[in-house]
Structure 1
Amino acid sequence: MKSWYTIRARASGAEVLIYDEIGAYGVTAKGFLAELGALPEGTPVDLRLNSPGGSVFDAVAIYNALKRHAGEITVWIDGIAASAASYIAMAGDQIVMPENAFLMIHDPSGLVMGTAEDMRTMAEALDKVKGSLVTGYVAKSGKPEDEIAALMAAETWLDAQDALDLGFIDRIAAPVTLAAAFDVARFRNAPPELVEAAAGPVEPAETAETAPEGVADGNTQLTPASPVPEPASSVADGNASSDAAVVRAEVIAHARAVIDLCRLAGQPQRAGRFLEEDASLDAVRAALLAARAQTDPEIFPAHAQPGPGPSARPWGDVIARTFRQKG
């Protein structure tokens, strides 16, 4: 299965690459967290980012996991770190950015279809998510919360110098030839030079520190200026390969089931928290049913009610039965 991330061991630690849209291809953060957790305690990590963002819930889970990791984390922004990817970058102990790369922060967004109450619930969830994001950006930059919130509301794109001045990164590296094969034009303030560069290859600077191996599964590849040694070991080598594949298949199936349950319940914003807590499907169902019981309004039979007739299955029955056979 194609994935938006790669984790591989090296002689001096581990390299983590996120070179695509976070949460794409049906692969959630659950598999990422399982592989990250399999690294030896205290392993130094080089996290390389070239991503337009993606699932904010996955990004929050990844950020928290990286912050809990005991080893030193160095983040390299190899092209763009936009939206949710910029939040993941904030987990780095050191963040390095080529002088012509870009970092973008903005308000989280989401889709909901339903009643006015559904809309209000989504708005409240987005406000809570933004609060979490603001906290992460503030922790790295040291800027006041209201300043960060204003930058997010404006969808702010930062080059390396801007990011350094605001405290989002620690060091500027030599420039790269930009070409992010992502649809950055969908963002309202995407820099024109980044939009124009959205089709060609990325050529890293002539330095070892900015030249990772090409990534076969990513939308964009980096061709190293000089050969990079093969890893001394790999998390996918030998007998660990089949074990890792089984674990990954299980966590992906579980994550999909949790996400589908939350969507069916009209509470997609809760999926990220359930996955981070490693909640079982029974626990997820119980929590969703309890939340629904607290928010369901009283229905008075004296008044005609809109919606499906009495033959429709009750919402709670649908949730209670969903994925029973899979759980």
Structure 2
Amino acid sequence: MANWYAIRARGTGAEVAIYDEIGAYGVSAKGFLTELGALPEGTPVDLRLNSPGGSVFDAVAIHNALKRHEGTVTVWIDGIAASAASYIAMAGDEIVMPENAFLMIHDPAGLVMGTAEDMRAMAEALDKVKGSLVSGYAAKSGRTPDDVSALMAAETWFDASDAVAQGFADRLIEPVRIAARFDIGRFRNAPPDLVEAIEAEPEPNAECDGREIEADEDTDAAAEGDPVEGAKDEPAATSDDPRPSAVTLPPSGAPPDPDAIRAEAIGHARAVVDLCRLAGQPQMAGRFLEEDASLDAVRAALLAAKAEAEPEIAPHHPQPGRSSAARPWGEIVARTFKLKG
């Protein structure tokens, strides 16, 4: 099972790296909490964040565990701490941001399918989750809960200077090169500077596999054996799985670059997962990855699945699947026009 985090004991404490979507690839916070709890009591922790967010429930659990930790927790935002990742950052006794890093807070979101009662239950759950998040942001920043709630509703992005000025971070350091390539298209207010920085990043190479950060020496990120290199092993992303349909082959006669192959495979896997999530069919991602399906094939299959699940007219309460008594809307519309013509 792939990981989106890494925890490593060091001579002077422990270093924790969260360099991907929180709770991604089926790995919950349970393993994270187990490893964190195994650290000796009072161990200082350096938490390195570069994440677009993820599962809010996992983030709340991680935040609470870090707050309970007896040792000092220093958070280094190496690039982006957005959405749920920003809430984890609030657990730090000190939050350090390079001048070109970003932090984002917004309202929690969720998906639900069912009755009106199901919808109301989801809304109530989201309200409760937001209340918990507001408390954490307000406690760290010193701002009022009403101020924080308004900032979340507006999906507010802070650069490092703004984050420090408004209490969401404590200290600035020299800029770093943001090498992690996240899809921030899901966010409506992403700063143009951040979008340009991500789009302008060169393709990953042997020195930078798309996740590593060239950090200020104060962060000790360049220490030998930095765990960021192994912070996550996405599905089908190993160097011995070249994924010929998704990976660009080197020029004839040139030896294959394992790091480039791995990076492109990671990008392909992430794109497949994102497409499935947007289509509301996350369970289909595993099959597409096993079949080494191209993105065009994935889109076509998802559209076909959506068409198959077209709304129906039935005399009873709608149930999953197609009943023999139900007719799809498309058939009814076509028949109506045929009769009128």
TM-score, normalised with respect to structure 1:
0.66
Alpha-carbon displacement from aligned partner over 1:49-102 (angstroms, at most 9, x marks no partner) = 000000000000000000000000000000000000000000000110001100
Mapped partners of 1:206, 1:64: distance in 2: 28
Quote the offset at 1:177 in angstroms. 1.7
| Residue of structure 2 in register with 1:9 after alignment | 9
Residue aligning to 2:90: 90
Residues 1-327 of structure 1 correspond to what in structure 2 (within 5 A)? 1-198=1-198, 199-200=201-202, 203-209=213-219, 211-212=221-222, 213=226, 215-218=228-231, 306-307=317-318
Tell me by how many angstroms 1:205 deviates. 4.3
Residue segments in structure 1 that go unaligned for 5+ positions in a row:
221-303, 310-327
Does the aligned pair in 2 maintain the 1:175–1:204 contact within 8 Å?
A: no
Deviations 1:120-171 (A, max 9, x none): 1000000000000000000000100111000000000001110001101110
Q: Note if contact 1:155-1:189 (Cα within 8 Å) is conserved in structure 2.
A: yes
Q: Secondary structure at the match of 1:184?
A: coil
Q: 3-state SS of the aligned residue for 2:229?
A: coil
Closer, same or farther in 2 for the Cα pair 1:210/1:171, shift >3 Å? farther
Conservation of the 8 A alpha-carbon contact between 1:2 and 1:217: no
Q: Matches of 2:46 and 2:219 in 1, distance apart?
A: 10
Contact preservation (8 Å) 1:86, 1:104: yes
Distance 1:175 1:209, change over 3 A: same
Q: Which has the higher contact order (CA 8 A, sep 6+)?
A: 1
Report the CA distance shift for 1:206/1:163 in structure 2 as closer, same or farther (over 3 A). closer
Residues 6 and 232, structure 2, Cα contact 8 Å, conserved in 1: no
AA of the residue aligned to 1:47: L
Contact 2:76 2:219 in 1 (8 A): no
CA distance in 1, matches of 2:11, 2:97: 24
Q: Deviations over 1:194-237 (max 9, x none)?
A: 223324456524524252426234479xxxxxxxxxxxxxxxxx
Q: Which runs of 4+ in 1 moved over 6 A?
A: none
Q: Hey, what's the Cα distance between the residues in 2 that align with 1:203 and 1:62? A: 23
Write the distance in 2 (CA, Å) between the matches of 1:38 and 1:132: 26
Amino acid at match of 2:214: P
Q: State the AA in 1 paired with 2:197.
A: A
Please give the secondary structure, in 2, of the residue aligned with 1:197.
Answer: helix
Once superposed, what is the RMSD of the aligned Cα atoms? 2.0
**1:308/1:46 Cα in 2 relative to 1: closer, same or farther (>3 Å)?**
closer
Q: How many residues align?
A: 226
Gap regions ≥5 residues in structure 2:
203-209, 234-314, 321-341
